[in-house]
Amino acid sequence: MDKFLLRKNSSSRTDDEEPSTSVTKNLKKIVKRKYDEDYIKYGFWRCGDETAPRPQCIICGDQLSNESMEPSKLKRHLYSSHPSCANKDKQYFKRCLE
């Protein structure tokens, strides 16, 4: 039982080890997604420059952030904001774009 009660002394740490509160753990990695041509089946088209494209809804014109350029988030916008267009095919959205 005594072995469970013994605690390691923090001074026994070697100089090679980093402290547990590292600054690098708190930094977020910035991910820039690229537009895929299949996103038109969710009713989105790219807008903005090539380095950081943003999805724009063909039906209502809303521009989403680059971080929301995931198929699940695009699909969620389509089903929640435009339920009447949710079952349309890719050709319908191409005609709306033109």
CA 53, 57, 61, 62 dihedral sign is negative
Contact criterion met (CB below 8 Å) for 78 and 43? yes
CA distance 48 to 7: 57
Residue matched to tokens 């080890």: 17
Is residue 19's pLDDT more than 60? no
- Please tell me the predicted confidence (pLDDT) of residue 47: 87
Give me the percent of the chain exceeding a pLDDT of 90: 28
Residue matched to tokens 């090539």: 50
Is residue 18's pLDDT more than 60? no
Long-range contacts of 86-92 (CB under 8 A, 24+ apart): 88/43, 89/41, 90/40, 90/41
pTM for this entry: 0.64
Mean pLDDT value across the chain: 80
- Please tell me the predicted confidence (pLDDT) of residue 76: 93
